[in-house]
Amino acid sequence: MTTYDKGAKPDNGQFISFDHVRFLVGNAKQAAAWYCTHFGFEPFAYKGLETGSRLITQHAIRQNKIIFVFETALIPGNHEIGDHLIQHGDGVKDVAFEVDDVEWIIKTAKKAGAEVVRDVTEESDEHGTVKYASVKTYGDTLHTLLERKNYRGLFLPGFKEHPSPKTFWQTLPRAGLNFIDHCVGNQPDLEMESAVKWYENVLTFHRFWSVDDSMIHTEYSALRSIVVTNYEETIKMPINEPAEGRRAVSQIQEYVDYYGGAGVQHIALNTSDIIGAIRALRARGLEFLSIPDTYYDNLRERLKHSRTKVTEDLSVLQQLKILVDFDENGYLLQIFSKPCQDRPTLFLEVIQRHNHQGFGAGNFKALFESIEMEQNERGNLFYKSVEEGGEKLPGGWA
């Protein structure tokens, strides 16, 4: 693993935090309810016919500082949403950041050649004014930059309190997920570096951490990853690309093929009590990747030779299939859900940190092997050429 110097502080344009994540889906009402049921969110804010929005509807859900927004078209002929769904299926369209000076950031981005999808715009209601702009990053994904220091409303102008009662979801076990830890973008092979340079040049982010395929691989698949972050290091965006495996489709390549290009692979949600969180989420019916018991035998042996002490009961972590990564300074605990839609694309991670700012590199091999078992069940682990009777798919494998 490699870490980097953050460099000089930008003159202006502070990035504060993740603001929200916006999904494009076929049915926003049902998608929002699914995430509320399984991940512990509650209905938060709403935009639709009842609020004067005639073309789209948006259901915002919230858990502590995490806000997801699900958007769908209300009338036929909406090609922007329809074409996105045909190409990508349900998935993340926009990872929005809160900033302190959107005009300065967009001015800098334009000088760096950014594709500005929406220039600086103001929207107001009785609660104040929000300034925002949107730029295109990898694939069809956007970053909306929101300056909300002069706004005191519920969420954003045009949204009202969600009409759905929270009482049902409040009867379910509390998940205790607190904030977005990081958001991972998968790229086609050899496109990671250009995506990273985009963040460096356009948003003045810096490199924070990286691994390559010499460190992260199994017999069948491998990846390279670079994490970029803002100067304050409150927003972390890992960028992955596949590395060539042994006649197999790595999970990164599987994502790219089924998503139809680069996009958000997973969102990591931070908790201060991962054992309580996973017990609650499993009780809510959420499915996670399975980790073999041999992983925990190996973990116990490695911890014997480390000065890092895991305070959680390893037998409980094993029962819940929670992974542990550690170094000389501390450790992290993490677990990954199964895909959140029919396409094997987006999934969510739950993570707890104990003085450890890595991304689970020590767990990647176990994670890869677990995902490879899932890929094998889907029939997607091994390449099968057309000459061998395979059917050529858009990604070039069958």
Q: Confirm or deny that 349 is annotated as ligand binding.
A: yes
Question: 161 - beta bridge partners?
Answer: 45
Closest by Cα among 156, 139, 54, 48 to 96: 156
Beta strands in the chain (DSSP E): 2-3, 15-24, 42-47, 56-63, 66-73, 91-99, 116-125, 128-136, 142-147, 160-161, 177-186, 206-211, 222-229, 236-243, 263-271, 323-326, 331-336, 347-354
Closest by Cα among 103, 104, 105, 135 to 121: 103
Q: Confirm or deny that 182 is annotated as ligand binding.
A: yes
Q: How far apart are CA 142 and CA 5, in angstroms?
A: 27
Is the Cα torsion angle 95, 353, 348, 263 positive or negative in sign?
Answer: positive
Report the alpha-carbon angle 331-337-343, nearest 5. 140
Work out whether strand 323-326 and strand 222-229 pair parallel, antiparallel, or are unpaired: unpaired
**What are the two backbone dihedrals, phi and then psi, of residue 302, each rounded to the nearest 5 degrees?**
-70, -35
Q: How far apart are CA 260 and CA 263, in angstroms?
A: 9
Q: Confirm or deny that 123 is annotated as ligand binding.
A: no
Q: Which two tokens stand for residue 240?
A: 């992955």
Kindly give, in sequence order, each residue whose CB lies less than 8 Å from that of residue 163, ignoring residues fewer than 6 positions away: 43, 46, 50
Binding residues for Fe cation: 182, 266, 349
Binding residues: 182, 266, 349
